[in-house]
Structure 1
Amino acid sequence: MSYDAIAEEYARRFPDGLGHRPLDRALVRGFTELVKGRGSEPVADVGSGPGHVTARLHDLGVPVFGVDVSPRMVALARRAHPHLRFHVGSMESLDLPDRTLGGLLALHSVIHVPDEALPVVFGEFRRVLVPGGYLLLAFQTGDDEQQRLTERFGYEVTLDHFWRTPETIVTHLVKAGLELQARVVLEPDEDGERARAFVLARRAE
């Protein structure tokens, strides 16, 4: 598990996943307002990593919990945010009943999902959302490219990244039975990172 190997260094280098990006924070805040407008249904932060964004949603008044495939990331999140719930889980098979969540957030986590697994993942997202529930995705964009990292932060890893266009993601979401609400593309920061896309979708029924 590559993220287990780099979990400590990742958490140290990125102490707040949205702290230096005001536009990203604004989009996440808009998502929380939509979810809170529905009622008190829980929200899942899928791919929660060290739990920074989960904690931010909690501070905004959302009943949220985190899910991550990396046991080490979950351990770090529990240590940093002991008042919140985190558990190990895969987005391809969420350990949640049908129609449970008022919202689901997945920031920069579907970039590790291969093309053939996207229908399964988005089908799971739709399954666990209540009718009217919201999904917010964020991902670095590209022309449907694949990249494999074998080193990060000085550690040996095997991390596959899939850089997709917003149109590709939207097509998969619609096929999974979710309705597109909005898409936003943020141009690269000065640090040279890729453009970032946010896609908001909703389960209609």
Structure 2
Amino acid sequence: MTEHQNETRAAYDAVVELYASMFADRRLETHPFSRSMIGTFAELVRGAGNPRVADVGCGPGHLTAMLDDLGLDAFGLDLSPAMVDHARRAHPALRFDEARMEALPVEDGSLGGVLSHYSMIHTPPGELPALLAEQVRVLAPGGLLLVSFFATDGPEPVRFDHKVAPAYSWPTDRLAELLTGAGLDPFARLLHDPATERGFLDAHLLARLPQ
């Protein structure tokens, strides 16, 4: 792993119980825009006929459980072993494994969807294309990727001090261009004011791998 991955993993390992307590509400009652986009993602994945979905960067597993509730065959992957251990305890009926986002333990073309809910934000901009290529590798034709992130109005990604580990906000058009460059069709987006005072918009991009 790279130095920033080691630092990010250690940072999340150190706050797992506090972090998990902040997301005990797995249905996102206080986050209606995220709930709406995840619901749309789940509906489209079910409609495409392949319900197998990876929650990449799953943290304590609350959204993996939400995807399961929405009728998907969901499993979670995370860099932090402490997060994976917590997710397994909290949701024993579901599968959780430790994994790096650029080397997913998933077969080529096997997934109907990938959820990346604020899990790419710690990746330096130069490394993001490789992560997106890995998401494309595991998606079946017609599969969907939902990416949620912090958005900035400027022309370039902005590094900022996230509460857990250094992170980056992205111009929405710029990230959409990266999705296109990876072979995806970004067909829906949602931007909204944040639920807390972070100084960035919250953004969601929904993209499809062409048939």
Shift of 1:100: 0.8
Asked if 1:175 is matched to 2:184, the reply is no
Of 92, 102, 110, 1:100 maps to 110
Asked if 1:80 is matched to 2:90, the reply is yes
User: 1:192 matched to which residue of 2?
Assistant: 197
Shift of 1:176: 0.8
Shift of 1:19: 2.9
User: 2:52 matched to which residue of 1?
Assistant: 42
Deviations for 1:36-78, whole angstroms, at most 9, x for unmatched residues?
0011441000010000011011011111000000000000000
> SS of the residue aligned with 1:111?
coil
Q: In structure 2, give the amino acid aligned to 1:45.
A: D
Q: In structure 2, give the amino acid aligned to 1:146.
A: R
Deviations for 1:17-39, whole angstroms, at most 9, x for unmatched residues?
52311221111101000000011
User: 1:146 matched to which residue of 2?
Assistant: 159
**TM-score, normalization by structure 2:** 0.89
User: 1:66 matched to which residue of 2?
Assistant: 76
**TM-score, normalization by structure 1:** 0.91
Deviations for 1:1-25, whole angstroms, at most 9, x for unmatched residues?
1100111111112323523112211
User: 1:166 matched to which residue of 2?
Assistant: 172
Instruction: Tell me, in whole angstroms, the C-alpha distance in 1 between the residues paired with 2:38 and 2:51.
Output: 17
Asked if 1:6 is matched to 2:15, the reply is yes
Q: In structure 2, give the amino acid aligned to 1:176.
A: A
Contact 1:41 1:100 in 2 (8 A): no
> Which ranges of 4 or more aligned residues in structure 1 deviate by more than 4 Å?
none
Instruction: Tell me, in whole angstroms, the C-alpha distance in 2 between the residues paired with 1:27 and 1:104.
Output: 13
State the identity as a percent: 43
Shift of 1:125: 0.5
Instruction: Tell me, in whole angstroms, the C-alpha distance in 1 between the residues paired with 2:87 and 2:121.
Output: 21
Task: Give the alignment of 1:103-114 within 5 angstroms.
Answer: 103-114=113-124
Deviations for 1:74-95, whole angstroms, at most 9, x for unmatched residues?
0000000000000000111111
Q: In structure 2, give the amino acid aligned to 1:77.
A: A
Q: CA RMSD in A?
A: 1.4
User: Which runs of 5 or more structure 2 residues have no equivalent in the other structure?
Assistant: 1-9
Deviations for 1:100-157, whole angstroms, at most 9, x for unmatched residues?
10000000111111111111000001110000000001011123210245xx5xxxx6
User: 2:127 matched to which residue of 1?
Assistant: 117
Instruction: Tell me, in whole angstroms, the C-alpha distance in 2 between the residues paired with 1:202 and 1:67.
Output: 21
> SS of the residue aligned with 1:168?
helix
Instruction: Tell me, in whole angstroms, the C-alpha distance in 2 between the residues paired with 1:133 and 1:77.
Output: 25
> SS of the residue aligned with 1:204?
coil
